[in-house]
Structure 1
Amino acid sequence: MLEYLPQELRDQLEAARKRRAARKSKMRVEVNGAVFPVLRFWQGGFSLDADLCPARLRGLVDLHDGPRHVFQCLIIASEIEAGELVCEFKRATPVASRAALDYWRDENAPVGYLPKA
């Protein structure tokens, strides 16, 4: 159906669709200090606007949801499909607000020590 429309109108419709998707999503990807909006996010990857980001994207990136740092992702593959850079990651490590414990903490352990009476 879109093939009957003039190319200029198709380009404007595609630009409006990208703006709407970028505005709807608050997720951002940070790569070497550069920030790119995420258009779509799923369990195995995410997509970016191909016009705004580099042609290939690989390595370690930080994924933010608004101001909150959510994941640190290792991108293994990226390719351009229909104006979007589709990135697949090998792992997405959730970012914790505190350091991981290197010991087992019992639920009923005392919080502090009591002095001798």
Structure 2
Amino acid sequence: MTTFLPKEVQAGLDSARLLSLKKASRLRVNIDGQTYPVLRMWKTGFSVDAATAPYLRGYADLYDGAIHLFQCLIIATDEEAGEMIYEFKRATAVADKPALDFEQAADAPVALLTDQPVVDM
């Protein structure tokens, strides 16, 4: 059995695959004020539609909807099957609160209670 497909059939399959990836993904990358939808993401990189994204490199912000996930340093590595492949040089997770510069005890009090009486007005 052969796995050869005519160019037209392969192009149709690729466009259908890209369309389904665009609909399924909420991820997007923001670089210098430009936003590009992310088709797929894996541990070491992600892919964007090659028709809309140029060869990008540098600092980027990766979002899942409105949630800021990573601040990244990226580089374009390859283009295959209509997808531009980018690899992470660095991907730092964004925290929702500042980092602590001290060790917090597990049994630390949550709040400070005083012995002052409650005043009713």
Structure-2 residue corresponding to 1:3 = 5
Question: Take 2:47 and 2:77, find their aligned partners in 1: how far apart are those partners?
Answer: 9
The aligned runs of 1:19-38 (5 Å cut-off) are: 19-38=19-38
1:28, distance to aligned residue in structure 2 (A): 0.6
Q: Which runs of 5+ in 1 are unaligned?
A: none
Question: Take 2:61 and 2:20, find their aligned partners in 1: how far apart are those partners?
Answer: 23
Does the CA-based 8 Å contact 2:76-2:84 persist in structure 1?
no
TM-score in terms of structure 1 length: 0.82
Q: Which runs of 5+ in 2 are unaligned?
A: 117-121
- The size of the alignment, in residue pairs, is 113
1:82, distance to aligned residue in structure 2 (A): 2.1
1:19, distance to aligned residue in structure 2 (A): 1.3
Kindly report structure 1 stretches of 4+ aligned residues shifted beyond 6 Å.
Answer: none
Matched, 1:92 2:91: yes
Greater Rg over alpha carbons, structure: 2
TM-score in terms of structure 2 length: 0.80
1:92, distance to aligned residue in structure 2 (A): 1.4
1:91, distance to aligned residue in structure 2 (A): 2.0
1:16, distance to aligned residue in structure 2 (A): 2.4
Q: Which moved more, 1:13-22 or 1:105-114?
A: 105-114
Question: Take 1:62 and 1:43, find their aligned partners in 2: how far apart are those partners?
Answer: 16
Root mean square deviation, CA, Å: 2.1
The aligned runs of 1:3-82 (5 Å cut-off) are: 3-4=5-6, 7=8, 10-54=10-54, 56-82=55-81
Question: Take 1:88 and 1:45, find their aligned partners in 2: how far apart are those partners?
Answer: 4
Instruction: Give a deviation string over 1:4-51, Cα, whole Å, max 9, x none.
Output: 3x63x5444432221110111111111111111111111000011110
Percent same amino acid at aligned positions?
Answer: 44
Q: Which amino acid aligns with 1:87?
A: Y
